[in-house]
Structures are given as C-alpha cells and as structure tokens.
Amino acid sequence: MKFCPKCGSILIPKGKNLACSCGYKEKASETKITKKGEEDKKIEVAEAGSGDVRSVIEEQCPKCGHKVCFTWEIQMRAADEPATRFFECQKCHHKWRDQR
C-alpha cells in the first residue's frame, strides 16, 4: 500500500497509475519479477531427498557376512545427479553406501 506524499491519504490504483483524491498522481511501481522457476526446483529436490522407501535385497554385509540387506536411495545433491544407494544389514544393522 502506498500513501500520497502530498496529503497522506491512501493512493488508489487507477489503470497503470496511482491516484489520490487531492489530485496527486503517481506511476505504479512495476510488478516484481519473482524467480518462481528456481523456487519450484528447490522444492522438487527437497521432496525427492526425503523419500525413504526401503526394499530388501540380496547383498552381503561387509561386517558380518549376512546376505540380506535393506536398500534405499537418497538424492544427495541436484535432481539431475544420480541418487546415492544405501544399504543396511538386516542382521547387525551396519550401514554403508554404494561405492559405484
């Protein structure tokens, strides 16, 4: 909201201008160009990273040698980079990440 510098009343938008009852006129400030595209991208990355859907696979635990592990993927950085795969041993709960 803007006020008239002459009389202090609220300026009323009239077309592309702001006008006051005292006769004062002012060009309305141009609408802000928000970087909406960038904000949307950030949100997408955050949502992708929060996904923690685990599945069970056959993978040998490097610690105890158990052959069944949980696996899940986490998006570490940008969405266009490949996700990092994590493993957790079903038996000893040792965690490690894919070295590929």
Active-site residues, by number, are 80-81
Query: Are 72 and 55 within 8 A, CB to CB?
Result: yes
By CB under 5 A, is residue 7 in contact with Zn ion? yes
Least distance from Zn ion to the Cβ atom of residue 66, Å: 4
Binding mask 18-57 for Zn ion (x = CB under 5 A): --x-x-x---------------------------------
Tell me 84's DSSP state: E
85 touches Zn ion by CB under 5 A = no
Of 45 and 70, the one with the shorter C-beta distance to Zn ion is 70
Judge whether 20 and 4 are in contact, CB under 8 Å: yes
Does residue 59 sit in helix, strand or coil?
A: coil
Q: What are phi and psi of 57, to 5 degrees?
A: -135, 165
- Which tokens in the block code for residue 81? 């980079």
Chain contacts with Zn ion (rule: CB under 5 A): 4, 6-7, 9, 20, 22, 24, 61, 63-64, 66, 89, 91-92, 94
